[in-house]
Structure 1
Amino acid sequence: MVLCIEVVDKAFGEMFRDFLNAGGYEAREQSSGHREFYRFHKPKDKNFPFMVELFSKEPDKISLPDDTGIVRLEVEADIVSLSAILLDPQYFEALQNGKRVENGVTILDQSILIPFKARAFLDLTGRRDKGDKIVKGDDIKKHRADVFRLSQLLPGNAVVQVSDPLREDVRSFLAAIEAEGTLDPKALNIPMTREEAISFLRKAYGIAEDQTDDAL
């Protein structure tokens, strides 16, 4: 869930604190650094979202009550999450333009969610390859699987228009999947071979076959 709010005033802060208390969120964390980032997780009430994040590109834009119970967290250098991706203006614009309403709920279209998942995969694998011990292999596999599961929601003749940075992330993602050669779409109940799934996404996002070698 993403809330795009221009002004976070005292009233919102108090309501948000009450929401956290109602859900019994045990972990309440704030980053240190020039960007403001808050993460709330481990709710006692499992009917509440398992994680909530607030972020701002500029400090002092988010005002929460002193009794919210927030702990400082050293995560500024490498926040790899939806919030970190949204700090990229190209992705934030894609989020704003890729929204659609279904059954009264605003959701992000799968054609735009796929680049988000691809970017998360690339960020996590990049950190892992640099020796970051915090990165979990299961998280990498989940983002990889999500891309191909979401691809099944695209029409067979899909032509997805995205900005060049998002297309580049999809290209790099597909090149990485092709290089590692371990993905088995059938294990995800996807009726395609790995080569067919990769080819389908390349065509959908306008990625030429000969562009993929540059990412390896």
Structure 2
Amino acid sequence: MDLIQSESFLSPISISLKVGIAATILSLIIALILHYLLFESTFPGKSIIETIIMLPMVLPPTVVGFILLLSFGKTSILGQMIESVFHAPIIFTIYAAILASTMVATPLMYQSIKIGIENISKDTMNAAKVDGASQFKMYQAIIIPLAKSSILTGVLLAFARAIGEFGATLIFAGNIPGITETMPTAIYVAIENNDMQLAFLFVAIMIALSFIMMLIIQKMKKD
């Protein structure tokens, strides 16, 4: 009970949930915007753009973290802009952890949304176009409601990926107790310190969360 009530146990859980929820919301917004912009587009280079969107899914997380470090580090243009506005760098903050998790979660969200929308009957969308519906109205009134199960699946997968992110978070956000230490990085530290009881508790929580989310997804597919 002392371990469960300790800050070393509760803090990584709290940070992981904050990072996971924020990254899931951001990845949902980004994925919907990207799909809206690319929807039914046929311009040259579309496949390259979609490949770039999906790239974090197959890249090693450490590579994603390194790219984020180069893009938002103190010597980068973006990093300097952020520091001049907020008077603090983004690296080694919870915002860096959120950004890292968003990067790796967005491809899963985008792919799930894309598959769900592609399964919508073309006749339904063509009928809406004939009735004079704009692309935005069609998205709002037809596409999103019909693809809601796929969007929810994307949300669950993105959340599971976000709370499980390790490599990119460690490189870009670090492992600062009470600030950026999430459950995956806490597991790494606990094993290094031979604190197997603490590591076991975090592993059990993450397995339970992942199991519940995958169970929900399987149930949705059957329904």
**Larger RCO: Structure 1 or Structure 2 (Cα < 8 Å, ≥ 6 residues apart)?**
2
Q: What TM-score does the superposition give when structure 2 sets the normalisation length?
A: 0.28
Report which of the two has the higher share of helix.
2
Report which of the two has the higher share of strand.
1
Q: What TM-score does the superposition give when structure 1 sets the normalisation length?
A: 0.29
